[in-house]
Structure 1
Amino acid sequence: MKLVRREHSRSHRGVIGVESAIVMIAFVIVAAALAFVVLNMGFSTTQRAKTAIVSSLEESSSALEIAGKVTASGDVSPTGKINVTSIPVKVASGGSSVNLGNTTMAVKYFSGSVEYDNIMTGILSTGTYANLTVAMQAAAQAGHLNVNPITSNTAADATAAVIYFAVNRNDNAILDQGEHAIIAIVHKGSERPQALDVIKAEIIVPTGSPLTVERLVPNITTNVVDLG
């Protein structure tokens, strides 16, 4: 009788051990599934945070940067004033192409006496121009300006901004890496800056923060004025 009881006890303990193992395996599987879900959510959250950070950096940094010296066309006599301010720009290092078309960007202009929210009037998107005088003549012929403010005895009738390319690879209004554009701000006759005036322009593009350009006008003693 004792032998029978021992065999029955051992068999019962074996069944309990198998059941415990099955329950433990089930717990392990459930824990692994939960761990996978948690890790997957963590990866998703990290990716979203990364996307948000990259997007924030792109919005906080300017898509454009100045590509050289800001210059101006000066009228030496009789009082010494600026006819046109020339701002060379290019795509910022590591940045994407920027659309410079009239409908996608704006040029704000400020001085000690005037403020304009948008003075953009047109872009010469085809071809390149060797200098400011040639570009202003083309802008006048295209109807973006009433006169060529550099060669005409008549001053411009409105303060306006015209864009042309010094380096243009594909003849469109999109500024790509390796291309150079010039933002020419033509000053109205009665609003032309003179020595010690402060002029400021904000170039607002579809993505990124505006490019702000501020300069103090020096004494105008030559036809080409270096604004730094």
Structure 2
Amino acid sequence: MAFKGKVFARKRGVVGIESAIVLIAFVIVAAALAFVVLNTGFSTTQKAKATISSGLGEASSALEIAGQATAKGNTTALKLDAYTIPIKVASGGSSVDIVASKTAIKYFSKSVAYDNIYKGTLASGTFNDIDSALAAAKAQSLISEIPGVGPGPGATSAVIYFTANSNNNAIIDSGELAIVLVAFKNADRPPTLDTVTAEVIVSSGAPLTVHRNVPTITYSVVNLG
């Protein structure tokens, strides 16, 4: 028994301050780990939010239709010489650059299909009707001839002009209104019961696709809806 007493005498208990130090160390380590976890979570959340926002931006069109599409009807040939689509910046969207190097316009009907017929924007001013826009497009060499007159243009082409442009540049800003004008060469002019489809492709966002049926052509101004 005396021997056992000597063994116990050599052992020392853990005092309160040492327990406190150990506890504080555990608390600090746990706090550091919690901070790392929270920080990683916040970072992941921000990245996910940015990815979702970017995905939504790419999935939604940057442009939208701003009214009815109308056409220039040829009552003699019973075909369309040209047609227009009013466009504007989509609700909640940002400005859209429509220079020819950053934009494409596909066109197809029941008989023809073109990957890109876009020639650019009319360089100056605003235009109130399709005839004045066609005359300006010819003067600026964006089309070779007025469609439906004589041999007509050498190729089916598209231009964009403005009816409201606050800063006279090739960017569609909020509050501005632009018109996509498609001028047909004689061989491509769509007749009654044909379909016309234009797809406006810009540098960001989904393309704007506009599909219309050609009604009976009895007037020089045709409402395509």
Task: Pick the TM interval, shorter chain.
Answer: over 0.9
If the length of structure 1 is used for normalisation, what is the TM-score? Answer: 0.91
Shift of 1:148: 2.2
CA displacement, residues 136-184 of structure 1 (integer Å, 9 cap, x when unaligned): 101100000111226x334222100011000001111111000011010
Unaligned stretches of 5+ residues in structure 1: 1-8
What is aligned with 2:164? 167
What is aligned with 1:147? 145
Q: Which moved more, 1:216-225 or 1:122-131?
A: 122-131
CA displacement, residues 18-58 of structure 1 (integer Å, 9 cap, x when unaligned): 10100000100110011001000000000000000000000
1:214 and 2:211 aligned? yes
Equivalent residue in structure 2 for 1:108, among 106, 109, 133 = 106
Partners of 1:202 and 1:122 in 2: how far apart? 15
What is aligned with 2:63? 64
Shift of 1:64: 0.3
Partners of 1:149 and 1:190 in 2: how far apart? 11
Partners of 1:148 and 1:159 in 2: how far apart? 11
Partners of 1:137 and 1:198 in 2: how far apart? 26
Q: Is the 8 A contact 1:128 1:167 kept in 2?
A: yes
SS of 1:121 mapped into structure 2: strand
Shift of 1:127: 1.2
Partners of 1:130 and 1:82 in 2: how far apart? 19
Q: Map of 1:72-221 to 2, 5 A cutoff? A: 72-77=71-76, 79-149=77-147, 152-221=149-218
Q: Which moved more, 1:38-47 or 1:141-150?
A: 141-150
If the length of structure 2 is used for normalisation, what is the TM-score? Answer: 0.92
Q: Map of 1:1-20 to 2, 5 A cutoff? A: 16-20=15-19
Q: Give the paired residue count.
A: 215
Report % sequence identity: 54
Moved beyond 3 Å, runs of 4+? none
Q: Is the 8 A contact 1:125 1:165 kept in 2?
A: no
What is aligned with 1:6? none
What is aligned with 1:25? 24
Q: Is the 8 A contact 2:192 2:214 kept in 1?
A: yes
Unaligned stretches of 5+ residues in structure 2: 1-8
Q: Is the 8 A contact 2:106 2:200 kept in 1?
A: yes
What's the Cα RMSD here?
Answer: 1.3
